[in-house]
Amino acid sequence: MSVRSLCIKIRKIHGERTLVLITKLGIINRELKIQPNKNHISIPLVRSPNEIELGKLKAELLHFELETKVFAKKKTQGKTLHQVLEDQLPSNLLASLPRALDIIGDIAVIDIPLELKTHKQVIGEALLKTHKNVQTVLAKIGAVSGIYRLREIEQIAGIKKTTTTHKEHGCQYQVDVATAYFSPRLSHEHNRVASLVQKGETVVDLFAGVGPFSVLIAKKNADAKVYAIDINPEAVEFLKKNIRLNRVDNRVIPILGDARQAVEDKLLGVADRVIMNLPEKAIEFV
Ligand SMILES: C[S@@+](CC[C@H](N)C(=O)[O-])C[C@H]1O[C@@H](n2cnc3c(N)ncnc32)[C@H](O)[C@@H]1O
- What's the gap in Å between 150 CA and the centre of ligand 1? 10
What pLDDT shows up at residue 223?
Answer: 94
Ligand 1: residue of 144, 151, 166, 181 to mutate (most ligand atoms within 8 A of CB) is 181
Query: For residue 224, how many C-alpha atoms fall within 13 Å in the half-sphere facing its CB?
Result: 28
Answer whether residue 77 shows pLDDT above 80. no
What pLDDT shows up at residue 64?
Answer: 93
- 209-242 pLDDT, tens per residue? 999 999 999 999 999 999 999 999 999 999 999 9
- Do strands 225-230 and 252-256 pair parallel, antiparallel, or not at all (unpaired)? parallel
User: Which whole number is the average pLDDT over 132-149?
Assistant: 95
- 170-204 pLDDT, tens per residue? 999 999 999 999 999 999 999 999 999 999 999 99
User: Which whole number is the average pLDDT over 269-283?
Assistant: 90
- What's the gap in Å between 274 CA and the centre of ligand 1? 13
Question: 161 pLDDT band (50/70/90 cuts)?
Answer: very high
Looking from the CA of residue 230, the nearest atom of ligand 1 is 22
User: Which whole number is the average pLDDT over 254-270?
Assistant: 96
- What's the gap in Å between 21 CA and the centre of ligand 1? 58
Take atom 12 of ligand 1 and give the residue whose Cα is closest. 207
Take atom 11 of ligand 1 and give the residue whose Cα is closest. 207
- Do strands 107-110 and 102-104 pair parallel, antiparallel, or not at all (unpaired)? antiparallel
Question: 269 pLDDT band (50/70/90 cuts)?
Answer: very high
Looking from the CA of residue 285, the nearest atom of ligand 1 is 19
Looking from the CA of residue 235, the nearest atom of ligand 1 is 27
Take atom 13 of ligand 1 and give the residue whose Cα is closest. 207
What pLDDT shows up at residue 262?
Answer: 96
Answer whether residue 75 shows pLDDT above 90. no
What pLDDT shows up at residue 91?
Answer: 84
What pLDDT shows up at residue 281?
Answer: 80
- What's the gap in Å between 229 CA and the centre of ligand 1? 8
- Which residues make Cβ contacts (< 8 Å) with residue 71, sequence separation at least 6? 2, 3, 4, 5, 7, 29, 32, 33, 35, 42, 44
- What's the gap in Å between 278 CA and the centre of ligand 1? 6
Query: For residue 110, how many C-alpha atoms fall within 13 Å in the half-sphere facing its CB?
Result: 28
What pLDDT shows up at residue 156?
Answer: 97
Residue 162 CB coordination number (10 Å): 17
- What's the gap in Å between 260 CA and the centre of ligand 1? 12
What pLDDT shows up at residue 260?
Answer: 96
What pLDDT shows up at residue 267?
Answer: 95
- What's the gap in Å between 144 CA and the centre of ligand 1? 12
Give the three-class secondary structure for 269.
coil
User: Which whole number is the average pLDDT over 143-160?
Assistant: 96
Q: Specify which residues 157 forms β-bridges with.
A: 137
- Say if residues 119 and 92 touch (Cβ distance below 8 Å): no
Host H or E run for residue 219: helix 214-220
Distance (Å, whole) CA 135 – CA 124: 10
Host H or E run for residue 40: strand 40-44
Mean pLDDT, rounded, of the chain? 93
Take atom 24 of ligand 1 and give the residue whose Cα is closest. 148
User: Which whole number is the average pLDDT over 20-26?
Assistant: 86
Looking from the CA of residue 232, the nearest atom of ligand 1 is 25
Question: 76 pLDDT band (50/70/90 cuts)?
Answer: low
What pLDDT shows up at residue 82?
Answer: 87
Higher pLDDT, 185 or 279: 185
User: Which whole number is the average pLDDT over 111-124?
Assistant: 95
Answer whether residue 286 shows pLDDT above 80. no
> Measuring from each residue's beta carbon to the nearest atom of ligand 1, which residues come in under 6 Å?
147-149, 181-182, 186, 207-209, 212-213, 229-232, 235, 258-259, 277-278
- Which residues make Cβ contacts (< 8 Å) with residue 213, sequence separation at least 6? 190, 193, 194, 205, 275, 277
Distance (Å, whole) CA 89 – CA 119: 8
- What's the gap in Å between 186 CA and the centre of ligand 1? 13
- 44-58 pLDDT, tens per residue? 999 999 999 999 999
Give the three-class secondary structure for 215.
helix
Take atom 7 of ligand 1 and give the residue whose Cα is closest. 209
What pLDDT shows up at residue 33?
Answer: 92
Residue 178 CB coordination number (10 Å): 16
Question: DSSP readout, 100-140?
Answer: --EEETTEEEE---GGGGGGHHHHHHHHHHH-TT--EEEEE
Domains of the chain: 2-72 (3.30.70.2580), 81-161 (3.30.300.110), 184-285 (3.40.50.150)
